[in-house]
Amino acid sequence: MSRDTGFVLRGGALHAEGVALGRIAQAVGTPTYVYSTGALRAAARRFREALAPIPRKSLAFAVKANPSLAVLSVLRGEGFGADIVSGGELTAALAAGMAAEDIVYSGVGKTPEELAQALRAGVGHVNLEGEREGDALAATAVRMGVEATAMLRINPDVDAGTHAKITTGTSDSKFGVAFADAIGIFDRLARRPGLTLHGVAVHIGSQIMDLKPLETAYRRIGELVAALRARGHVITHVDLGGGLGVDYHDGPDGDVAAYGEMVARVTHDWDVTLMFEPGRYIAAHAGVLLTRVLWVKPGEECPFVVIDAGMNDLARPALYDAWHEFAAVAPNGATMRAHVVGPVCESSDRFAKGRLIDRVREGDLAVLRDAGAYGASMASCYNSRALAAEVMVEGDRFAVIAPRIDAAAIRPQSMPDWLEARRLGHAA
């Protein structure tokens, strides 16, 4: 692996920093997510340094990318807060030691209970996705005797040029309020008791490599800020979201230095605190999914390499046709063309189709690369499979940060009394 990910070949075997992946497999089993502390820190610092020209800013890691308490704790140490989209993510961010005032609560479907939870915790900002949500937050704040600090999320009707399922800024998206309606909604919400509305937010999608859509969206937001100020509103914060992409083919990632330059240029006269919510850019390369080859099964076009990790462990290929490199932990230089598939009873449980890969045999260890973002966080127990374990590595030491959990433990079940009676042979 040539990229600075924390995963390197040493002595013919793949290591996470100073720890052989074979050692982790022996101790923990497979499938297992493995994260590099050094890679997380390096990516966090690259992002922060790229924004050095911006005088007032705050950084919040998108917890949906990876909600591991250990990952969040590492990023807290790098000066990141949290961008959350649920009450569960709020609980995780606080448990990882992130300060409530450094948390931004986004998400299009916050429940009344979650809004109250956010106010009790004292989160720094709530990004409102609609007028009714703002009404509900204001009413809840008045009832609780507190003031809610919020921003209004704007839908700028800009196509991010990325996969349709991770595009969030076009006119038919469920996120935010229409640009044309923003001023009227802002006017009405700003008058609500219990609500301090002090800015606007925008996020047009994920995995963005071309900066032009982002610049277009930001310029529209700049126009809106000027228009709101002209109407007497005090605008102190603008949340520019996240979305900067990474390359899953061992090529260059989104140009974070150019991104920082663009943001500084476009926003130089806004006089606000700029907020950023990176997720994938920070975590993707810092993790791999460690797996074992179960079978190499003959196929009509090429063999099927059946591994013990499935689409329930790493859903992105099934959801988005996403690419993750498949690599042997102990490559011998030989290659083969194969389909790489998992054990889940779905044809979509496929990680590679007719791809040239390292030659592997039954029992060999392998990894699916760049799985640190939207990997474990999207995992499920489909087919009643266990949730994969998660491990963090720092230098020559490692620790299990999430154990493997059987499906029955995740979702305990019971039978109604009448069915239990029939099972035991008693009359219902």
Residue ranges of the annotated binding site are: 243, 277-280, 316, 320, 346, 374
Collapsed DSSP state (helix, strand, coil) of residue 237: strand
Q: Look at residues 72, 130, 133 and name the one whose alpha carbon lies nearest to residue 103.
A: 72
Catalytic site residue from 345, 424, 427, 428: 345
Residue whose pair of structure tokens reads 């975590």 in the numeric block: 283
Determine the Cα angle at 234 with ends 185 and 137, to 5°: 45
- One DSSP character per residue, 393-419 reads EETTEEEEEE--B-HHHHS-----HHH
Instruction: Enumerate the β-bridge partners of residue 149.
Output: 196
**Residues annotated in the binding site for substrate, as ranges?**
280, 316, 320, 346, 374
Contact between 222 and 182 under an 8 Å Cβ cutoff? The reply is no
**E strand or H helix at 128, and its extent?**
strand 125-128
Contacts 24+ apart (CB under 8 A), 115-123: 115/140, 116/140, 116/144, 117/87, 117/90, 118/87, 118/90, 119/144, 119/146, 119/148, 120/144, 121/90, 121/94, 123/90
83: phi then psi, degrees, rounded to nearest 5:
-100, 120
Residue 345 bears catalytic tag: yes
Task: Please tell me the distance from the alpha carbon of residue 181 to that of residue 174, in angstroms, as a whole number.
Answer: 15
CA torsion sign for 154, 127, 166, 51 is positive
Task: Please tell me the distance from the alpha carbon of residue 278 to that of residue 293, in angstroms, as a whole number.
Answer: 34
b or e along 384-417 (b: 16 or more beta carbons within 10 Å of the residue's beta carbon)? Answer: ebbbbbbbbbbeeebeebbebeebeeeeeeeeee
Length of the chain counted residue by residue = 428
Beta strand 148-155 with 125-128 is: parallel
Active site residues per annotation: 345
